[in-house]
Amino acid sequence: MEIFKNYSLKNYNSFGIDVKANYFVNIKTMSDLTKLTQSKLLEGKKYFILGAGSDVLFANDFNGVILNIELKGMHIRDYNDDELILEVYAGEQWHNFVETCVKNGYHGVENLAMIPGKVGAAPVQNIGAYGAEQCDVFWKLKAYNIESNAEIILNKQECKFGYRDSIFKNKLKDKVIITSVEYKLSRKEKFNFSYKELDKIIHRFPWVKPDLQYVFNTICRIRNSKLPNPEILKNAGSFFKNPTVSNYKFQELKKEFPDISGYELKNGNIKLSAAYLIEKAGWKGKRIGDTGVYDKHALILVNYGNASGKDILSLSDKIQDSIQNKFGVKLEKEVIVVE
């Protein structure tokens, strides 16, 4: 187990925020977890479990212990002619896992290509894109309970997945370290083109029969054209969640903003596009100092250089207030703010 003191987190968060942590611990093996408990390093200190830092905003220096999860490995747990179960360790990069699946003809995660971050964080916010969510193929996971120093296994139901939500953001928040995740993938052709824009692009040439590699390449191309690469422009993807309103509220909004669109949920409520609201309120492309709203996608806040966590939070507060005032809709942060 490697322990560093007074360690810079600048290269460990996709916003590129230059803060320091009192302690930074690399967890590379399962025995590092036992050593961590034996060391009593966490006693009386706050701690934060870090993946690749692509969904977090560090508001300040972190006065505690950062646990950097670097557990690596991927192997087949079970298979038959139709399906297989792949166990992936928490420290693997999500996109590398997706690439491996595509290379081997395993269907199920191709719509989630190019989502930055590590596998261990994927169940935490139940990552999703292009009509798919990781919970669609999730089988089970193993985690280490920091308090009881014991391994736990959770199935899909126990993880309580929701829209960008799970038990790891609620009851088990900061209590367990996810060590590996098992996904059930299809060895037979099985695509999800429920997302209209994707369906249109995939089928734009009727003579092309899409295969797994084609779908993967298409997703990568769409994402490259829309989303800023954090290596070049620091960001953490969608800063806010898409808000949900009642059907009544949606009809009221429609009277005032006829071009507003919504997606009806099973319970009759309507999910709105946060990007639409932010753009309509005039924030798209706006810059304040070194922070701003990305000019090609209103849901993404960016750090143009030396913005602090506080600068980005201040911008996000202004956007939330403005959306509340203009539409009477509360925007919730998707990004996790670490104080």
Residues of this chain that interact with ligand FAD (CB under 6 A) are 14, 48-56, 69, 90, 115-118, 120-122, 124-125, 127-129, 168, 177-178, 227, 230, 235-237, 336
Q: Does residue 256 have an active-site annotation? A: no
Q: Given the complex with ligand FAD, which of 51 and 108 has the nearer CB atom?
A: 51
Catalytically annotated residue among 92, 110, 182, 334 = 334
Minimum separation from the CB atom of position 216 to ligand FAD (A)? 15
Closest distance between ligand FAD and the C-beta of residue 3, in Å?
18
Catalytic option among 164, 180, 308, 316: 164
> Please, what sign has the CA dihedral across residues 111, 115, 118, 121?
negative
Toward ligand FAD, which CB reaches closer, 168 or 191?
Answer: 168
Minimum distance between the CB of residue 300 and ligand FAD, rounded to whole angstroms?
7
Q: Measuring CA to CA, which residue among 111, 145, 116 is closest to residue 128? A: 111
Judged by CB, which is closer to ligand FAD: 51, or 309? 51
To ligand FAD, the closest distance from the beta carbon of 8 in angstroms equals 16
Q: What are phi and psi of 87, to 5 degrees?
A: -95, 130
Strands of the chain, DSSP E = 2-8, 20-27, 46-50, 56-58, 62-69, 74-79, 83-89, 128-129, 132-133, 138-145, 150-155, 176-186, 234-238, 244-245, 262-264, 270-272, 287-288, 291-293, 300-303, 336-338
Structure tokens at 202: 């995939």
Task: Select 69 or 98, whichever has its Cβ closest to ligand FAD.
Answer: 69
- To ligand FAD, the closest distance from the beta carbon of 86 in angstroms equals 17
- The first and second tokens of residue 144, run together, are 């280490």
Spatial separation of the C-alpha atoms in residues 52 and 70, rounded to whole Å? 10
The phi, psi pair for 95, rounded to 5°, reads -65, -35
Q: Is 221 a catalytic residue?
A: no
Helix (H) or strand (E) holding 240: none
Q: Give min distance, CB of 282 to ligand FAD, in A.
A: 23
Token pair for residue 335?
């990004």
For residue 79, the minimal CB distance to ligand FAD (Å) is 25
DSSP states of 153-190 as a string? EEEHHHHT-BTTB-GGGTTTTTTEEEEEEEEEEESS--
Neighbouring residues of 219: CB distance < 8 A, sequence distance ≥ 6: 110, 111, 113, 114, 129, 130, 198
172 phi/psi in degrees, rounded to 5: -100, 15
- Tokens representing 285 are 């492309």
Q: Which is nearer to ligand FAD, 174 or 189 (CB)?
A: 174
Active site residue 204: no
R_g over Cα of the chain: 21
* C-beta closer to ligand FAD: residue 88 or 127: 127
Catalytic residue among 54, 166, 180, 238: 238
Active site residues: 164, 238, 334
